[in-house]
């Protein structure tokens, strides 16, 4: 007979703790938030997949005899408890739709309801199927270069039957990754798949990243991509006069900063005359403050900026950090904004989203919608989970509302 694995209780305890971390982050201060996020995020958003894999593995181990005896029964009980917690997480996520819809309804009123009713319903892609959605909308010829640097590439998502003279609305998607990863694939697939299916064109870009490249290379690339889209998107059937921008995490920061600084020459070297204004912006769980040193996770964040991103001490380059902070750029003529943030975000605490939305709302003449998603972790829209589907639908309705008002 094959020998049973040792320490089944230890393994089962680890599963329970991982599930509990998905229910609520187990750490909110210091660098521990990084492993807390990386373990809790996929577990929370892909709970059915995680639970299913655990059940299959438990069946395999049960056949092997791992759950015999007192220790084995305890291990099985703990493992079953982890399944119950994952089921609770999934059910809770399914109930979160009002957190996405009610802020839009409250801020935009009857016009929002009218536009939302015009939406063509589609079956959610699910966690696994959504990860392959790019294949349906991006051909080899849709991978383009928008600038002179190696990282200056983008994928253009669109339906193959989109008419070239249709003037489809356009969304520029800016990836996150702490300004040091910047992978455009597979970020925002639920959103871009949803919009492309409804006749939008989505441009998913990459940009130069740190530590190899130093700020402000990142924002320059976003501005350059936006200028390229305005000049070339008509060739794909897009409307250069109807371009919105979105992004999550570092991409949320770049998205907000781009929307609040149209045509600023300091970030448009060599293309100063290009129009870099946008119709609206949707930053998701973004960073909006590069200068505050006190608060949850702030000292660690400022340290990372100084060492790897800006590469200059804050004391010697204070104005550079202030200029890079969207919260210092709020303005009366800002375009419409839809700001989303997760209540349980352990990477960028939710207070940052609250403060930015409040500061922008206080001065902007255009709508500022703020949606705080209960129990949501950082990157909650990444998978085709309930959170990912609700994000795609809510953002799509907001973009449609802005376009309807513009037209």
Distance between CA atoms of 178 and 196, rounded to whole angstroms?
27
CB 201 within 8 A of CB 234: no
Task: Provide the token pair at 179.
Answer: 């300004």
Tokens 């309705």 belong to which residue? 397
List helix spans (H) across 263-349.
298-304, 318-323
66, 155, 289, 345: which one is catalytic? 345
Active site residue 273: no
State phi, psi for 340 to the nearest 5 degrees.
-120, 140
319-322 long-range contacts, CB within 8 A, separation 24+: 320/215, 321/290, 321/291, 322/290, 322/291
Q: Are 341 and 373 in contact (CB under 8 A)?
A: yes
Task: Give residue 334's region: left, alpha or beta (phi > 0; psi -120 to 50).
Answer: beta
275 is catalytic: no
Find the catalytic residue in 378, 385, 387, 389: 378
Q: Point out the catalytic residue in the list 96, 244, 249, 346.
A: 249
Q: Which of 377, 392, 381, 345 is nearest to 187 (CA)?
A: 381
Q: 379 with 248: CB under 8 angstroms?
A: yes
- Please state, as a whole number, how many other Cβ atoms lie within 10 Å of the Cβ of residue 401: 25
| Cβ-based neighbours of 327, under 8 Å, separated by 6 or more | 288, 289, 355, 356, 359
**What is the C-alpha to C-alpha distance for residues 107 and 357, in angstroms, rounded to an integer?**
13
Please identify which residue in the block is written with the tokens 């997480």. Answer: 89
Q: Strand, helix or coil at 169?
A: strand
Contact 25/89 with Cβ under 8 angstroms?
no
* Contact (CB, 8 A) for 28 and 9: no
307 CB-near residues (< 8 Å, 6+ apart): 211
3-state secondary structure of 252: helix
Distance, C-alpha 345 to centroid of its chain? 12
Contact criterion met (CB below 8 Å) for 360 and 337: yes
CA 346/CA 25 separation, integer angstroms: 7
Active site residues: 249, 345, 378
């Amino acid at each position: 007979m094959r020998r049973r694995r040792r320490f089944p209780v230890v393994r089962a305890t680890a599963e329970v703790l991982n599930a509990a971390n998905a229910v609520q982050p187990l750490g909110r201060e210091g660098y521990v938030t990084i492993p807390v996020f990386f373990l809790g995020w996929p577990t929370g958003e892909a709970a059915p997949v995680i639970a299913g894999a655990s059940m299959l593995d438990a069946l395999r181990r049960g056949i092997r005899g791992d759950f015999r005896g007192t220790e084995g029964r305890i291990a099985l009980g703990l493992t079953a408890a982890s399944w119950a917690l994952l089921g609770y997480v999934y059910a809770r996520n399914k109930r979160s739709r009002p957190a996405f819809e009610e802020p839009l309804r409250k801020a935009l009123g009857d016009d929002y309801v009218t536009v939302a009713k015009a939406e063509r319903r589609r079956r959610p892609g699910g966690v696994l199927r959504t990860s392959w959605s790019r294949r349906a909308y991006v051909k080899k010829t849709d991978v383009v270069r928008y600038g002179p640097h190696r990282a200056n590439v983008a994928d253009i998502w669109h339906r193959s039957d989109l008419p070239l003279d249709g003037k489809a609305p356009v969304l520029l998607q800016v990836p996150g990754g702490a300004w040091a990863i910047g992978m455009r694939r597979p970020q925002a697939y639920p959103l871009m798949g949803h919009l492309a299916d409804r006749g939008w064109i989505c441009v998913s870009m990459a940009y130069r990243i740190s530590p190899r490249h130093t700020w402000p290379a990142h924002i320059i690339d976003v501005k350059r991509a936006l200028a390229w889209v305005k000049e070339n998107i008509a060739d794909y059937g897009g409307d250069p006069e109807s371009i919105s921008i979105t992004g999550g995490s570092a991409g949320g920061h770049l998205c907000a900063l781009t929307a609040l600084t149209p045509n600023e020459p300091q970030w448009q070297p060599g293309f100063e005359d290009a129009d870099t204004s946008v119709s609206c912006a949707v930053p998701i769980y973004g960073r909006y403050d590069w200068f505050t040193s006190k608060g949850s996770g702030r000292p660690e964040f400022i340290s990372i900026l100084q060492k790897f991103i800006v590469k200059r001490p804050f004391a010697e380059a204070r104005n550079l950090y202030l200029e890079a902070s969207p919260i210092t750029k709020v303005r009366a003529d800002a375009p419409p904004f839809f700001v989303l943030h997760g209540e349980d975000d352990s990477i960028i605490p939710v207070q940052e989203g609250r403060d930015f939305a409040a500061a922008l709302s206080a001065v902007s003449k255009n709508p500022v919608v703020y949606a705080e998603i209960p129990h949501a972790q950082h990157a909650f829209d990444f998978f085709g989970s309930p959170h990912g589907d609700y994000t795609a639908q809510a953002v799509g309705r907001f973009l449609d509302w802005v376009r309807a008002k513009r037209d």
